Structure 1
Amino acid sequence: MIDDILDRMTLEEQVSLLAGADFWTTVPIERLGVPKIKVTDGPNGARGAGSLVAGVNAACFPVAIALGATWNSALVERMGVALAGQAKSKGAAVLLAPTVNIHRSGLNGRNFECYSEDPMLTAALAVAYIQGVQSQGVAATIKHFAGNESEIERQTMSSDIDERALREIYLPPFEQAVKRAGVMAVMSSYNRLNGTYTSEHPWLLTKVLRDEWGFDGIVMSDWFGSHSTVATVNAGLDLEMPGPTRDRGEKLVKAVRNGEVKPETVRAAAGRILTLLERVGAFENTPDLTEHASDLPEDRALIRQLGAEGAVLLKNDGILPLQKPGLGHVAVIGPNAAEARVMGGGSAQIAAHYKISPLEGIRASLSNANSIRYAAGCRNNRLINVFSGEMRVEYFKGQNLTGSPVAAEPANKGEFFWFDLPSPELDPSDFSARMTAFYTPTESGEYIFGMTNAGLAKLYVDGRLLVNGYDGWTRGDNYFGTANVEQRQGVHLEAGQQYQIVVEYCSSATVEEGINLTAVRFGVEKPLGEADMAEAVETARAADIALLFVGRDGQWDTEGLDLPDMRLPGRQEELIERVSAVNANTVVVLQTGGPIEMPWLDKVKAVLQMWYPGQELGNAVADVLFGDAEPGGRLPQTFPKRLADNSAITHDAAIYPGKDGHVRYAEGVFVGYRHHDTRGIEPLFPFGFGLGYTRFSWGEGQVSTTEMEPDGITVTVDLTNVGDRAGSELVQLYVRPLAATVERPDKELRAFAKLRLAPGERGRASLLVKPRDLSYFDMETKAFRAAAGRYQLLLAANATDIRSAITIENPREWIGKTSDRFI
């Protein structure tokens, strides 16, 4: 059927398939019965065509690092199935997920959106996620291919990575997604790879992806990530997104006529687009692109289960789980206590069905809610709290707010991110809008108004220009680098008095290379000071237990900018110090998208890392704290003692964050625990670490043979739950070469198994090690090579806790081609 359609297409029609119709849909060809399909952002939900801050509600699942912490492929596959249902509820046939870039620095703004520092763990979870999504007839899109481990200058930066590091660390998740999961789509990254944009990189997109790995799906650009006509098509980029086209259309037709692009190249790319439509069933059933909210009880239960399964207990001096009977007075303190920080920022954002804060979850879990006292203590938000309340928005043609509005609509949040405008008469590059709202403070005092805008804007309070986001506007660090740095201004407000807030916005007249967006965000807050800190301390002093909720939020952990350091922002470290000084039973609950430094660690009784676990945050937290569920997580990323211990952090800016448009991955394959183990640098918490609420005894590891065979070696170990409650234990298998002709990591993760056992129950973990698991990528032969000789198979509870070491022999050198189908 595909060839028949292609035969009947004109060149112009074939070309039309190679760019989006708009922000979210492909181009249809009605005369040939070719429908259009919709794509939707993931990976922790399915947003649909709504903006990043609005749209139809959707189920909000845990972020990827929280999934990485589960080490539970079966559960992640179940999430993939659920997400496919969510995508269908938004009329979408393609989910733009999963994200499988590697945790390199710990400062990457999208660290939360990626699974792990380890390619094997990343690949295992990505394969499960893809298989779940695609089992329901929805295409998954693995991203970002490749070398996108930082958000700094991400649209132009060249990630300079040698081929060995690429083959061993950064490409395996993509390789396994193709070879094991049959992923239907790949998204190229914004950055350049060794000097060439990935969207026009023939070695990456054609030689490696298609010729070596056998990928037969589509390659699409990241949004606005295509920079050329001829180079992208010839390199293997099938679909330019979003539409309408900038680089294709008549430009590509002309390039074919001029002989710069072969007609068969266009036909092959168009054929892959048609094949995608066929695979998602678009020819059989015309896609219904309408959107609706789908809030299913089974999704709620799965999100809650995933939240607990990914929770990592980092420290426990016997205080957890808390016993509800006789618990006494509980102080719930911190900037993340009453706020539900359920997801990171950027394109992963969705409009969640609901968000349960830790305070709400704890109150629901305890029968005596009167025993709970709450105090914030301090703030941790990077931007001023967004305005919340009724407002009216009027839209005008042109950029001067003149004439009668062509559209008007109500809103209840002071953040607007326009993918689609409310009237077809409005031009996204030539419109203006006026937002009118009223604010009545409950306390008198100094308030701060803040605004950031992609485009130009001014904020007035009772007719007075207070925040000027117009004069001297320059690009800053918000909205993927398209908006200015937040402008702030303080003003005294009286309690009970109503103030009119007017924001006047106009789209920018200047269109720059790269992403161009229209957005504005404004807010108001009363700063917290010493009195609020003192209130939190006194609340803790009067309590039997202090539960301290600290960390970051989606303004810090976000696409578009990297973190400044690994410290808790604001006065949170001071809050921990002062609370723990007056209450010996202090439990810290962290919410971050990656590692942090913990100078206060020795002063608290317990530390629980919850990440951003989705809409059931508060319930999952309460489940773990009170023992209704165990903390099932293990770290998917090393937590260094200090930022300087990370392999990417040196005195050379060219290694991180980059210099003169290049960031050099000088550490090679020594990323994460590979760096700490091999260089002898003790971590704060090692890769794979996590405590539980029960105890396990381990037997000695056994192997099916002590000589590597073509089909591999099976390794088994028996575990027994010797505690008094059910729990899970994670068995990690590392390979250590005992002799090597090239520098290799001390050990590398090659398999894992997670067992859940009842008290007294015995179980067996079975793991398979194959010849490639002994190998490294040989730069001379351009193949994976396992030298003959001795290797150790290490069974471990984490990267520094080895329980068994078994020596095996590789009797003869093994060479694995990059095109081998079985890996």
Structure 2
Amino acid sequence: MAGLTFWTALLSLTARSVAQDYSTSPPVYPSPPTVGINWEAAFAQASSFVSNLTLEEKAQLVTGTTGPCVGNIGGVPRVGFEGICMQDGPLAIRQATYASVFSAGLTAAASWDRGLIYLRGLQMGEEFKGKGSHVALGPVVGPLGRSGYGGRGWEGFSPDPYLTGVAAEQTIWGMQQAGVQTSLKHYIGNEQETQRNPDKSANNNTIEAVSSNVDDRTIHELYLWPFANGVRAGTSSIMCSYNRINGSYGCQNSKTLNGLLKTELGFQGYVVSDWAATHAGVDAVNAGLDMNMPGPISGFPNASFFGGNVTQAVNNGTLNESRVDDMVRRIMTPYFWLNQAEYPPIDGYEPTLNSRYPPYQYSFTLGSSNVDVRADHAQSIRDLGAAGTVLLKNTNNTLPLKAPSTIGVFGNDAGDVVDGLYFSGASFQQRQGYEYGTLPVAGGSGAGRLSYLVTPLEAIKARGAQDNTLVQYILNNTLITQPGGLRTIAPVPEVCLVFLKSWASEGSDRVSLEANWNSTAVVNSVAAICNNTIVITHSAGLNVMPWANNPNVTAILAAHLPGQESGNSIVDVLYGTVNPSGKLPYTIALNESDYSFADITNSTELQETEDPNAWQSNFTEALLIDYRHFDYYNQSVLFEFGFGLSYTTFDVSNLDIEPTVSGISPYPDAAPTVPGGNPTLWQVLYVVNITVKNTGDVAGATVPQVYLALPQIAGSVPTPKNVLRGFEKVLLQPGQSLTVNFPLTRRDLSYWDVNLQDWVIPSGAIGVNVGFSSRDIRLANDFVVVQ
């Protein structure tokens, strides 16, 4: 109880002292110690463990070292501790052999299916554990998706914080149920790859990383929101990001680490740096960083910001050993909580794959090589790939296909890859070799090593053989767009399938929102000869579709990044084995220029700057990203957030809004902070009830969505017209009806008051809008919580 009293007092002190104005990052010290809330037994084990360590051993446990994994904490054999193995990433054990490559986070979000997202996390966790990895570096909620040009948006879920928060907590629950620690990343404001790290100018001056400058209300209601879900779900660690936030580097920003994360959200685990995102020793430790990865300073394998510097700082009095003890407790508590002292050995082939470092000595016990951890996960990967495919257009019920006599398959995304099954590469400009072959995942540390890949063409051929369908194909985009390039296709197919793709990767941002490799010309060329052209996109993010209204384009499917079962997933949807139920987790605008509200700064002037602090990204759009922007300015779009068609039809009725408590105060009750923040923020205050009915003639699933319209707040940044605050995937037989309930928590009904430094329910009417997308609203009402 004494620990909770201290925690409550510290929260009160910090809330009064850290009111944040735009583009500043006030200091918040000291770093609050963990008290092991919800992990009490493991915390006691960790405390006992720490009491038996020397100072040098403590310093070792907070410092990465070379080893068989992507990230390694060395063992302490004297106390029976072998160490900690960390592996990428958010959709697969990135570099492992005989492991599955799951659908991307973007695909999971497009499914809007809690159960499938949880299962994805559980099965990924089983594979990480089977390979001996204690920590999975994921899931991703930063970048949130401020800009569609972001190179890593596909690793996360959606630019909507509510949808992303739900997907994050389901993933964390699943992975940690399997016994693997999650590392929720990248914290915070990490919304671009351009200038994410400092570099050198032409005159060898250090140019600092981009600073994401975010106002206090926006950081709470947008970028911190899904991290709160993740902390409440019990994530073991949080990875801090490369960028600066309001002028201070993410891994030594005391406001975001000590203030927001450890105090306001009550985070009990450890903060680990992104690889080489540490720029200081004692300053970073005091600001809230608990673990430095990979440990050695780049180019200096025997030097580290932590390690011996931690020992020296304690000995010379510049760092309190109690803070080092807290760092080790934070690291070891999840280890004991998940019973990782009893754990499979690291795959013996791993050192061969982790070739970034020269030969080294390590304390880990290696097991057998090339352990097959894929189990029966292929079917659920196939299921999620189909569930995350969004049907955007279906003129005259073109789909599902019904045993056509002839099919034409076109585009460089349809066939097999020609440059290997490991999508590790960097920017689009550097990876022109990825021109040929379907895109199951994108590149960088969020990728995976495929053990096999089912391509769309392969799966279409197999299905065509069942139906005695003639399947013709041309996969060369350059040939397709040349005059006469399609002359070898005869007869003209009854159905023409065009497969497009958009590459993206860690390390660079996208240069266009159109699909790559002359995609518009490919569609137009095929549609000119085929009046039944179906376009399928595999994309690392959203695509604008300048060909969408071509009358010969009769159907459009956004298939995102489905993973290793790509071809099977899309054929399941094309032929109606699976009734499409995916919904867009972002907005598709009419024109690329419509996304200018969140440009990623990349001007020639900045590229050539000699000003160390020139890279400033001011989030002036505040809360108005994606559909919030388009709705606020009444701007037309091509396909709105939450949109997705089905092979059947649905309706909603009987909107009812019921309070669950009476006498609601606009302010949350004072309460000891627990993981996720003030527990009263998670109290359900209202329940929205509706009836959903399948009004068509085939079974199918749909996603009713609840949006709230909160009043505008005087003197604040603009409040969005509508914000998502509830959804549920519902499977219904023809004619079947079902009552669906949507709980609304205090947090759902509140805004962040920058003066009070607290969540407040606004006075006046709150609108409730229910429908099947952000603009397909079927039912509306309002209610008043606070007069």
Q: What's the TM-score, normalizing by structure 2?
A: 0.80
- Alpha-carbon distance in structure 1 between the residues aligned to 2:253 and 2:237: 17
Equivalent residue number for residue 705 of structure 2: 732
Q: Distance in 1 between matches of 2:374 and 2:323?
A: 44
- Kindly provide the amino acid, as one letter, of the partner of residue 120 in structure 1: Y
What CA distance in whole angstroms lies between the structure 2 residues aligned with 1:229 and 1:775? Answer: 38
**Which residue in the other structure is 1:723 paired with?**
696
Confirm or deny that 1:222 pairs with 2:279.
Answer: no
Query: Is the contact between residue 709 and residue 771 of structure 1 (CA under 8 Å) also seen in structure 2?
Result: no
Structure 2: distance between partners of 1:607 and 1:580? 13
1: CA distance between counterparts of 2:321 and 2:383? 52
Q: 1:538: Cα distance to partner?
A: 5.0
Secondary structure in 2 matching 1:563: coil
Aligned to 1:570: 517
1:647 touches 1:667 (CA, 8 Å); kept in 2?
Answer: no
* Pick aligned residue for 1:18 from 26, 39, 62: 62
Question: How far apart are residue 343 of structure 1 and its match?
Answer: 0.5
Which is worse superposed, 142-151 or 658-667?
658-667
Question: Does 2:733 correspond to 1:786?
Answer: no
**Shift in Å, 1:122:** 0.2
User: Is contact 1:160–1:665 with CA below 8 Å preserved after alignment?
Assistant: yes
Whole-Å separation in 1 of the counterparts to 2:438 and 2:602: 36
Say whether 1:237 aligns with 2:289: yes
C-alpha distance in 2 between matches for 1:123 and 1:625: 31
The corresponding residue for 1:648 is: 597
Contact 2:440/2:538, CA 8 A, preserved across alignment: no
Which residue does 2:353 correspond to in 1?
none
Equivalent residue number for residue 101 of structure 2: 60
* SS of equivalent to 2:271: strand
Equivalent residue number for residue 773 of structure 2: 798
Counterparts in 2 of 1:107 and 1:284: CA distance versus 1, 3 Å: same
1:139 corresponds to which letter in structure 2? Answer: Q
Q: 1:708 to 1:676 in 2, by over 3 A?
A: farther
Deviations 1:637-678 (A, max 9, x none): 111112222253469879x99992211111001111111111
CA 1:269–1:287 in 2, change beyond 3 Å: closer, same or farther? farther
Equivalent residue for 1:539, pick from 489, 508, 511: 489
Provide the secondary structure at the position in 2 that maps to 1:688.
coil
The runs of 5 or more residues in structure 1 that have no matched partner are 379-527, 813-823
Change (3 A) 1:39 1:586: same
Partner of 1:456 in structure 2? none
The letter of the residue matching 2:48 is D
Partner in structure 2 of residue 38 of structure 1: 85
Kept in 2, the 8 Å contact 1:312–1:635? The answer is yes
Give 1:690's aligned residue: 644
- What does the per-residue CA deviation read over 1:576-627, in whole Å, with 9 as the maximum and x for residues that have no partner? 1111011100000011122222111111101000011000000001000011
Question: What CA distance in whole angstroms lies between the structure 2 residues aligned with 1:712 and 1:706?
Answer: 5
Any idea what SS the aligned residue of 1:26 has?
Answer: strand
Of 114, 118, 138, the residue aligned with 2:156 is 114
Give me the whole-angstrom Cα distance separating, in 2, the residues matched to 1:39 and 1:739.
Answer: 45
Deviation at 1:35? 1.9
Call closer, same or farther: CA 1:694–1:709 in 2, change over 3 Å.
farther
Conserved in 2, the CA contact under 8 Å of 1:638 and 1:686?
yes
> Paired residue for 1:254?
312
Give the letter aligned to residue 764 of structure 1.
T
Quick one: structure 1 residues 635 and 14, their matched pair in 2 at CA, closer, same or farther if it must change by over 3 Å? same
Residue 548, structure 1, aligned to residue 595, structure 2: no
Higher fraction of strand: 1
DSSP 3-state at the match of 1:35: strand
Q: Does 1:314 align with 2:398?
A: no
1:704-723 equivalent positions in 2, closer than 5 A: 704-705=658-659, 710=664, 711-723=684-696
Deviations 1:241-285 (A, max 9, x none): 113462112222222222221111111112222223212323345
- 1:472-551 matches, within 5 Å, as 528-529=478-479, 534-536=484-486, 538-539=488-489, 542-551=492-501
Query: How far apart in 1 are the matches of 2:469 and 2:394?
Result: 26
Percent identity between the two aligned chains: 32
From the superposition, tell whether residues 707 and 792 of structure 1 become closer, same or farther in structure 2 (CA, over 3 Å).
farther
Contact 2:147 2:599 in 1 (8 A): no
What secondary structure does 1:25 align onto?
A: strand
**1:151 correspondence with 2:193:** yes
Q: Which secondary structure does the structure 1 equivalent of 2:485 belong to?
A: helix
> Per-residue CA shift, 1:441-487, capped at 9, x if unaligned?
xxxxxxxxxxxxxxxxxxxxxxxxxxxxxxxxxxxxxxxxxxxxxxx
1:139 is the counterpart of 2:205: no
**Structure 1 residues 336 and 256: alpha-carbon distance in aligned structure 2, compared to 1, 3 A threshold:** same
For residue 342 of structure 1, report the CA deviation from its aligned partner.
0.8
Q: Which residue of 2 aligns with 1:775?
A: 750
1:298 Cα deviation from its structure 2 partner = 2.9
Look up the match of 1:816.
Answer: none
Residues 1:541 and 1:661: Cα distance change in structure 2 (over 3 Å): farther
Which residue matches 2:339? Answer: 281
Which among 620, 639, 651 is matched to residue 666 of structure 1? 620
Residues of 1 paired with 2:485 and 2:165: CA distance? 47
Q: Give the 5 Å matches for 1:286-305.
A: 287-288=345-346, 289-290=366-367, 292-294=370-372, 296=374, 298-305=376-383
1:3 lines up with 2:102 in the alignment: no
Verify: 1:200 aligned to 2:252, yes or no.
yes
Distance 1:352 1:735 in 2: 42
SS at match of 1:648: helix
Contact 1:737–1:791 under 8 Å retained in 2 = yes
Pairing of 1:414-425 with structure 2 (within 5 A): none
1:356–1:618 CA contact under 8 A, matched in 2: yes
Residue correspondence of structure 1 range 254-403 to structure 2 within 5 A:
254-285=312-343, 287-288=345-346, 289-290=366-367, 292-294=370-372, 296=374, 298-325=376-403, 327-338=404-415, 339-366=437-464, 367-368=466-467, 371-378=470-477
Q: Partner residue of 1:588?
A: 535
Shift of 1:716: 1.0
* Aligned residue among 160, 176, 180 for 2:229: 176
The residue type equivalent to 1:798 in the other structure is S
- Larger deviation: 537-546 or 573-582? 537-546
**1:319 Cα offset (Å):** 4.0
String of CA shifts for 1:282-307, please: whole Å, max 9, x gaps. Answer: 33457555453435463111001001
Q: How do residues 588-627 of structure 1 correspond to structure 2 at under 5 angstroms?
A: 588-603=535-550, 604-627=553-576
Q: Which amino acid aligns with 2:150?
A: N
1 CA distance for matches of 2:652 and 2:49? 61
1:639 matches 2:639: no
State the secondary structure of the residue aligned to 2:255: helix
Query: Does the C-alpha gap of structure 1 residues 706 and 740 become closer, same or farther in structure 2, counting only changes over 3 Å?
Result: farther
Give the aligned residue type for 2:129.
Answer: K
Given that 2:515 and 2:539 are in contact with CA atoms closer than 8 Å, whether structure 1 keeps it comes out as no
Measure how far apart 1:772 and its partner are.
Answer: 2.6
User: 1:571: how far off?
Assistant: 2.2
Q: How far apart are residue 86 of structure 1 and its match? A: 0.8
3-state DSSP of counterpart to 2:782: strand
Alpha carbons 2:149, 2:600 under 8 Å: kept: no
Please report how far the alpha carbon of residue 557 of structure 1 lies from its aligned counterpart in structure 2 after TM superposition: 1.1
Comparing 286-295 and 329-338, the one that deviates more:
286-295
TM-score by length of 1: 0.76
Greater percentage in helix: 2
Contact kept, 8 Å, 1:708 with 1:771, in 2: the verdict is no
Q: What secondary structure sits across from 1:27 in the alignment?
A: strand
Equivalent residue, structure 1, for 2:137: 96
Deviations 1:166-222 (A, max 9, x none): 00000011111112x011111001111111111111111112111221111111011
8 A Cα contact 2:711 2:719, kept in partner: no
CA distance in 1, matches of 2:489, 2:91: 36
- What is the root-mean-square deviation of aligned Cα atoms in Å? 2.3
| 5+ long unaligned stretches in structure 2 | 1-44, 198-208, 297-302, 347-365, 416-436, 608-612, 665-683
1:16 Cα deviation after fit: 0.7
